[in-house]
Chain A
Amino acid sequence: MLDLWLSGFLSLFQVQQLAFLALGMAVGLLFGAIPGLGGTTALALLVPMTYGLDSFSALALAGGVMGAVPMGGMITAILLNTPGTAPNAATCLDGYPLAQQGKAGLAIGAGASANALGGIIGTISVLAVLPIAREIVLLFGPPEFFLLVISGLIIVATTSQGKVLRGLLTGAFGLTLAFVGYSNVSGIERFTMGNFYLWDGIRLVPSLIGLFAIAEMINLSVKGGSIAGDAKNVKITNMSQGLLETFRHLGTVWRGSVIGTIVGAIPGIGGTVASFLSYSMTVQASKDPDSFGKGNIEGVIAPEAAINAKDGSMLIPTLAFGIPGSAEMAVFLGLLVLHGMQPGPLMLVEHQVEIYSLIWALTASCVMASFIGLALVRPLARVTLLDTRILVPVVVSIAMVGSYSVDQTIENVIVTSLFGMIGYFMIRYDYPRLPFVVALVLGEGTERYFHQSMLMSDGNWMIFFERRICLILIASTAFLVFLPSIRAVFRKLRGTSRTAPGGRS
């Protein structure tokens, strides 16, 4: 086992491999930062380039890309409320308020180190789990997935501080939109009005770009000035402070990484949910939940740790069974096949060294990308001082083109604009966006897994109560949901008073 780790590591340390790792990292950083582009596009771009290469170089390139993308996405999320990739949307929630307070440097610094730590923890978890990956994948079937999805929805909806009703409302809204499109469960298309574009439903990335980036740009146009408010009061804090912050909140890093690793391993649920769930649960576990949405540094650390942890674990179903958990993984799968590595049960047996080399590449890229991010903190943070009259049109342009480029469909731009308007209203009228996003991602899974479970059990609802993992999931969700009530009771017993509701999410 250890010798495999070592050979994987050593195979990475050749000049050519390192060069490709660096190239992948640079591309990943850039593509991660631009909304609409991301790991999927970066990999899709580079895959044909790897055609003649040996597998190790190709994997070093892929690992480089996948490890660096989240860091790129984090930077625009914090500075411009523009999630570079979908999971980074959770980072916007507290990262952007920090930038508005002139603490962009702090946020980026903390996020970068959370990135690195989360990635390392995720890697260790993956390496530990890989030998039993197959067994784990086989434990989770449609009934388990259904309960997971429901739990995710419940947890996120109930942790909207003081706004549970509106949280449920926006969550329901997300669910209704999730059902738009063709469903291979029933074989018909719903709510599409015969439109080709809507066959595939409401795409996540264009709606997120609208909901977070465009909405905030509208907000800035109305407010005027610059992101970081009054230029005189701004201090671009340096990175060491950010680094220290992360180490002060190691519990949050740990929690985020664990959530990221677990959720990332579930195909189809993946990244965005991991980061939002990590955020929600950190809010819930915090002693000061109402400070979230206003610039609590833990609100940056939690999702970023989760995002990088998930990168490693997303490989598990992909490598173990060739089941890609996301579009990015699907492209990565294509890369593997192109190089004669058929993912599946054989892969873990025949190409072990390559796998470990990939995982090392992923980790190395993640850590190095964090360093580069930290090095660029000062110049990057200056963006928050730009006049919005210049900043807004430029960001809107790039965001819209990015939205289009997700799959080269111009209708994405319309979706983005609509969600920009809706997102703006959600900011102004204080409706939480978080449950909406999670519901949009998980929505169609709810129906699908339920339907499959019913077919498996011939309509018997007891299937959710007969399987071991299902019972564990029900128990843990109930525990997590009632946790705040339990803690409130304990607090009352100890005599501390509850703070007033509020906050923005």
Chain B
Amino acid sequence: MKRIFGVPVADYALGAGLFLFTVIYLIAAYGYEAEARAFPAGVAWVMLAISALDLILMTDTKLAVVIRRIINPVPGAAVTPAVSVSPYPIRAQAVAIVWIFIFASLLVLAGILYAVPIYVFASMRFYGRLSYRLSLSVAAGTILMVWLLFAVVLRLDLYSGVFFADF
């Protein structure tokens, strides 16, 4: 995997993501008037600084070493290791995450009653590579449980999805 400042790119994912989020948030915050943006902007500026520091400390550069030495003597301060902490293949992680979003999209589009059994079946059969019979029976059991609990007992309207919406 490609390395930036001596650290695999993937390791920066969350740190960089938070930094980016803060920038966008700050830009949005300055769209509001002074009193309304006081707290959010204040927090965001601090977060920007901390996030930048976090990113630097992750790297394997001289700057990082210097900073680490500065803040180390303070008891309890952070010492973020410049070592990759994701031992699993990126692809496996991405696939697992994507399955969640597939389910979420199914829920929004097709509604609970259809999305749940489809997802459970598909996940067990295609992702987990389990038998058809097991996948089908667990899918059926799950939606039965969901229906009994939420629709019957709670008398909640189980969301019917964008495609099947009533109005």
A residues with CB within 8 A of B: 34, 37, 41, 45, 158, 161-169, 172-173, 175-176, 179, 183, 186, 188, 190-191, 214, 217-218, 221-223, 387, 389-390, 392-394, 396-398, 400-401, 404-405, 408, 410, 413-414, 416-417, 420-422, 424-426, 428-431, 446-447, 450, 484-485, 488, 498, 501
Q: From residue A356, how far is it (CB to closest CB) to chain B in Å?
A: 31
**A161 to B130, alpha carbons, bound, how many Å?**
41
* A429 closest partner in B (C-beta): B14
Instruction: Note all chain A residues with C-beta closer than 8 A to B112.
Output: 401, 404
Instruction: Note all chain A residues with C-beta closer than 8 A to B159.
Output: 404, 408, 410
Instruction: Note all chain B residues with C-beta closer than 8 A to A429.
Output: 11, 13-15, 85-86
A-B contact pairs, 27 of them (CB 8 A): A34-B149, A163-B78, A165-B50, A165-B53, A165-B78, A169-B47, A172-B47, A173-B47, A176-B40, A176-B43, A176-B44, A179-B43, A183-B36, A188-B36, A190-B29, A190-B37, A389-B124, A393-B123, A410-B107, A417-B104, A422-B14, A424-B96, A425-B17, A428-B88, A429-B15, A484-B75, A488-B76
Q: From residue A162, how far is it (CB to closest CB) to chain B in Å?
A: 7
Pick the contact of A218: B18, B86, B97 (CB < 8 A).
B97
**Interface of chain B, helix or strand or loop or mixed?**
helix
Pick the contact of B100: A169, A218, A387 (CB < 8 A).
A218
Cβ A397 vs Cβ B120 within 8 A: yes
Contacts A390-B124, A417-B103 known; list 5 others, CB within 8 Å: A179-B43, A221-B99, A404-B107, A410-B159, A429-B85
Say yes or no: is B145 at the interface (Cβ < 8 Å to chain A): yes
Pick the contact of B157: A168, A214, A408 (CB < 8 A).
A408
**B69-86 to A contact mask, C-beta < 8 Å, 1/0:** 001000111111000011
Q: From residue A251, how far is it (CB to closest CB) to chain B in Å?
A: 23
Count residues of chain B with CB under 8 A from any CB of chain A. 72
* B154 closest partner in A (C-beta): A45
**A111 to B101, alpha carbons, bound, how many Å?**
33
Q: From residue B147, how far is it (CB to closest CB) to chain A in Å?
A: 10
**A446 to B93, alpha carbons, bound, how many Å?**
37
Cβ A190 vs Cβ B142 within 8 A: no
Instruction: Report B115-167 residues with CB < 8 Å from chain A CB.
Output: 116, 119-120, 123-124, 127-130, 134, 138, 142-143, 145-146, 149-150, 153-154, 156-159
* A409 closest partner in B (C-beta): B159
Instruction: Note all chain B residues with C-beta closer than 8 A to A394.
Output: 120, 138, 142
Instruction: Note all chain A residues with C-beta closer than 8 A to B129.
Output: 389
Cβ A191 vs Cβ B99 within 8 A: no
Cβ B107 vs Cβ A488 within 8 A: no
**A387 to B99, alpha carbons, bound, how many Å?**
17
Q: From residue B68, how far is it (CB to closest CB) to chain A in Å?
A: 11
Instruction: Note all chain A residues with C-beta closer than 8 A to B86.
Output: 428-429
Instruction: Note all chain B residues with C-beta closer than 8 A to A416.
Output: 104
- Best-surrounded residue of B78, B134, B145 (most CB of chain A within 10 A): B78
Say yes or no: is B59 at the interface (Cβ < 8 Å to chain A): no
With contacts A41-B154, A166-B54, A173-B18 taken as known, whether A390 is within 8 angstroms of B134 at the C-beta atoms is yes
With contacts A428-B86, A429-B85 taken as known, whether A396 is within 8 angstroms of B36 at the C-beta atoms is no
Cβ B93 vs Cβ A222 within 8 A: yes
Say yes or no: is B108 at the interface (Cβ < 8 Å to chain A): yes
With contacts A165-B80, A169-B54, A392-B123 taken as known, whether A222 is within 8 angstroms of B25 at the C-beta atoms is no
Instruction: Note all chain B residues with C-beta closer than 8 A to A158.
Output: 76
* B15 closest partner in A (C-beta): A429
**A363 to B77, alpha carbons, bound, how many Å?**
42
Instruction: Report B11-46 residues with CB < 8 Å from chain A CB.
Output: 11, 13-15, 17-18, 21-22, 25, 28-29, 32, 35-40, 43-44, 46
With contacts A221-B127, A222-B88 taken as known, whether A179 is within 8 angstroms of B39 at the C-beta atoms is yes
* B155 closest partner in A (C-beta): A45
Instruction: Note all chain B residues with C-beta closer than 8 A to A223.
Output: 88
Pick the contact of B108: A161, A222, A410, A428 (CB < 8 A).
A410
Instruction: Note all chain B residues with C-beta closer than 8 A to A501.
Output: 79
Cβ A214 vs Cβ B100 within 8 A: yes
Instruction: Note all chain A residues with C-beta closer than 8 A to B21.
Output: 173, 176
Q: From residue B123, how far is it (CB to closest CB) to chain A in Å?
A: 4
**A209 to B38, alpha carbons, bound, how many Å?**
30
Instruction: Note all chain B residues with C-beta closer than 8 A to A221.
Output: 96, 99, 127
Cβ A396 vs Cβ B88 within 8 A: no
Instruction: Note all chain B residues with C-beta closer than 8 A to A425.
Output: 13-14, 17
Instruction: Note all chain B residues with C-beta closer than 8 A to A165.
Output: 50, 53-54, 57, 71, 77-78, 80
**A76 to B35, alpha carbons, bound, how many Å?**
43
* B28 closest partner in A (C-beta): A191
* A395 closest partner in B (C-beta): B142
Instruction: Note all chain A residues with C-beta closer than 8 A to B146.
Output: 397-398, 401
The 5 A-B pairs at the shortest CB distance, nearest first, are namely A389-B128, A165-B78, A172-B47, A221-B96, A393-B123
With contacts A394-B142, A401-B116, A485-B75 taken as known, whether A414 is within 8 angstroms of B104 at the C-beta atoms is yes
**A426 to B85, alpha carbons, bound, how many Å?**
11
**A163 to B81, alpha carbons, bound, how many Å?**
10
* A30 closest partner in B (C-beta): B149
Cβ B47 vs Cβ A393 within 8 A: no
Pick the contact of A398: B71, B145, B156 (CB < 8 A).
B145
- Best-surrounded residue of A446, A447, A450 (most CB of chain B within 10 A): A447
With contacts A176-B25, A176-B47, A410-B159 taken as known, whether A390 is within 8 angstroms of B128 at the C-beta atoms is yes
Cβ A397 vs Cβ B116 within 8 A: yes
Cβ B145 vs Cβ A413 within 8 A: no
Say yes or no: is B92 at the interface (Cβ < 8 Å to chain A): yes
Instruction: Note all chain B residues with C-beta closer than 8 A to A430.
Output: 85
Q: From residue B60, how far is it (CB to closest CB) to chain A in Å?
A: 16
* B162 closest partner in A (C-beta): A410
**A37 to B142, alpha carbons, bound, how many Å?**
17
